[in-house]
Amino acid sequence: MNATQIETFFATLQAANPHPQTELHYASVFELLAAVLLSAQATDVGVNKATRGLFAVANTPQKIIALGLEGLEAQIKTIGLFRSKARHLLQTCEILVAQHGGVVPRTREALEALPGVGRKTANVVLNVAFGEPTMAVDTHLFRLGNRTGLAPGKTPLAVELKLLKRIPKKYLVDAHHWLILHGRYVCQARTPQCGQCAVAGVCGFKGKTGLPPKP
């Protein structure tokens, strides 16, 4: 994809959805952090179902700690890997209280120091909660970066850095949401909906023409 095609790609996505939002439900920065931490290898729908009950009884680090490990596990047991996620979330809450006054920190270094919080989770919090122009490369962004020719790369970090470099600044804050939603509902892994894709004209994917698809 060249610069003109990238501009058209994001201008088109912006026109269709001017104010994209995460599909995770949250009412505070802490709830967002908790939801993203729980979302690894789980759907947003499944996470929202679990956090609806969890946040009703424990929506702060202090309340999660009071709930205890067994109580937390019981609240999120419908989510995959719930035991390890409960342990990480509880440890994260303890660190937030002990080191940050119960407030979610705004720096990447501090976020990535929290148990269960890697670069992708930190990027989501920095972008969604604090408006930073970060790029959380999940399976959807990794696939789109390579399939469309927007930001080919062999690792999530390579795709992330290339996306940050190639996407025009005016689109960066919202680009993460547009790409996730596009990958989730249109440019799907097994059956990309090329016939319904608004940006097919500038996409580098050749599968729709009968040529070998890009990775």
Residues with active-site annotation: 120, 138
| Measured distance CA(78)–CA(157) in Å, rounded | 30
Phi then psi for residue 90, to 5 deg, are: -65, -45
Phi then psi for residue 51, to 5 deg, are: -75, -20
Cα–Cα nearest to 215, from 162, 161, 149, 167: 149
DSSP 122-135: HHHHHHHTT-----
Give yes or no for a contact between 88 and 37, defined as CB atoms under 8 angstroms apart: yes
Residue 26 CA to its chain's centroid (Å) = 14
Cα–Cα nearest to 12, from 147, 175, 187: 175
∠ CA 13-202-182, nearest 5°, is 35
Proportion of the chain in helix, strand, coil states, percent, rounded to 5:
60, 0, 40
